[in-house]
Amino acid sequence: MSVFAFLIGALSLAAALGVVVSAKPVHSALFLMANFATLAILYVLLDAQFLAAAQVIIYAGGIVILILFVIMLIGHDPTDRSQPGLTRPAVASLGLGLILLASLVLQLTGRLELGTGGGIASGGSPAAIGTELFTRFLLPFEFVAILLLVALIGALIMGRREPGEPVEEPAG
């Protein structure tokens, strides 16, 4: 690996950390866009230009802009409503983080073998990706589709107004 790849990887990790620790949602969305852009650069370094273009167009271009529109339309309440002490989500996140850290350490020390991964077939060409996606990875692909459908239905249920409920005007 070249020094440039490690530099881009470090920038990607820094942008991902910025997404998590940023207090302002707009800054988090911009850090997310930076993370997607650095991942696209890594795809180019791996000779997967189609994946890089898809990363920039779909994620950095579409998803992040959608997130920014939602943030701007809903608004952000700057008052801090956090509870002092450890809450259930904080404890769950800490536990999951420790499990992931332990698995990373075990993987790096050679005590846990997770496999070599699939790799990028034929430089990430659309035909190779489609073939792999609908043959070898059909079950995970369908699982992700069902998961996204459930998330969409959940978002619709959560955003649905009850009959007679007043419509709130956006602040601003």
pLDDT computed for residue 154 by the predictor:
82
pTM of this prediction? 0.61
pLDDT computed for residue 104 by the predictor:
82
Letter for the amino acid at 62? G
The full set of domain ranges for the chain reads 1-76, 125-161
pLDDT tens for the 172 residues of the chain, in order:
688 989 999 999 999 999 888 888 888 889 999 999 999 999 999 888 888 898 898 888 888 888 888 777 777 666 656 666 667 777 888 888 899 888 888 878 877 666 656 555 556 678 888 888 888 888 988 998 899 898 888 878 877 767 776 666 666 5
The tokens of 133 are what? 């996606």
pLDDT computed for residue 16 by the predictor:
92
Cβ(77)–Cβ(170) below 8 Å:
no
Cα 69 from Cα 63, distance rounded (Å): 10
| CA neighbor of 76 nearest in space, from 32, 22, 35, 33 | 22
Number of H helices, E strands in the chain: 7, 0
Cα 54 from Cα 61, distance rounded (Å): 10
Cα 43 from Cα 37, distance rounded (Å): 10
| CA neighbor of 19 nearest in space, from 37, 32, 33, 36 | 32
The tokens of 86 are what? 């450890």
DSSP annotation of 56 reads I
CATH classification for the domain delimited by 1-76, as one of 1.10.599.10, 1.10.357.10, 3.30.830.10, 1.20.120.1200: 1.20.120.1200
Annotate 60-116 with DSSP letters as a single string.
IIIIHHHHHHHHHHH----S--PPSS--HHHHHHHHHHHHHHHHHHHHHHTS-----
pLDDT computed for residue 35 by the predictor:
94
pLDDT computed for residue 65 by the predictor:
84
